[in-house]
Chain A
Amino acid sequence: GENVEQHPSTLSVQEGDSAVIKCTYSDSASNYFPWYKQELGKRPQLIIDIRSNVGEKKDQRIAVTLNKTAKHFSLHITETQPEDSAVYFCAATWMRFGAGTRLTVKP
């Protein structure tokens, strides 16, 4: 089955800085890579996704990049704000999640 590894497990940044979270996957047939944000006590919510025919996708302050050759993809958050503080999960095909990254944005 698919294995998804996610790093780092925790990330603390100052407000306004950028944050980068990386995931690697094992199944070369995977072709869909979503990112979810989960705030404490709430459901995971899709924030951005990328398909294998695209190398990069951007939505305002959030971007995702994909390197299919190396089998890794990354979430980039620019100009971080305190409300970005949450746990972020990557996932690959068949929606097996990475272990999660707890992002803390300090005001």
Chain B
Amino acid sequence: DTEVTQTPKHLVMGMTNKKSLKCEQHMGHRAMYWYKQKAKKPPELMFVYSYEKLSINESVPSRFSPECPNSSLLNLHLHALQPEDSALYLCASSQVSSLNNGYTFGSGTRLTVV
């Protein structure tokens, strides 16, 4: 298995809802990442997990809460989002949380906040 699987593919949620995005990989990668991508913009790093521990938080608002239950799974819990949070959320993984490995990206979850 050489893929990163993200669910759901599409999500519409109200500003008072609580939802979760899920990401799964079975490549033995020990680093996993969340990115946010707005239309016509580059992916913007949000969180980095290395060996199931949060190693980077790019000053992301607390309404986004990441979780890494095990080495294969990465979740992003969403609560009280704003319409401007609507975007494509990409998960990625790599062999190690190091400087020298490319990422494998999932297909993303397209989130719309209404």
Q: Is B99 an interface residue (CB 8 A)?
A: yes
- Chain A residues near B45 (CB-CB < 8 A): 94-96
| A residues 5-64 in Cβ contact with B at 8 Å | 30-32, 34, 42-46, 49, 51
Cross-interface CB contact of B42 among A42, A43, A45, A99, cutoff 8 Å: A99
Is the Cβ of A49 less than 8 Å from the Cβ of B102?
A: yes
A31 touches B43 (CB 8 A): no
Query: Beta-carbon contacts of B64-100 to A below 8 Å, as 1s and 0s?
Result: 0000000000000000000000000010100000011
Chain A residues with Cβ under 8 A from B92's Cβ?
95
CB contacts (< 8 Å) of B56 on chain A: these are 94
Q: Nearest chain-B residue to A4 (Cβ)? A: B42
Measured between beta carbons, the chain B residues less than 8 angstroms from A46 are: 102-104
B105 at interface by CB-CB < 8 Å: yes
Of A32, A43, A95, which is within 8 A of B107 by CB?
A43
Q: For the complex, what is the distance from the CA of A31 to the CA of B100, rounded to whole Å? A: 7
Inter-subunit contact A51/B33 (CB<8 Å): no
Count chain A CB atoms within 10 A of each CB in B48, B99, B108 and give the residue with the most.
B99
Top 4 closest A-B pairs, CB basis? Answer: A97-B42, A43-B105, A46-B102, A32-B100
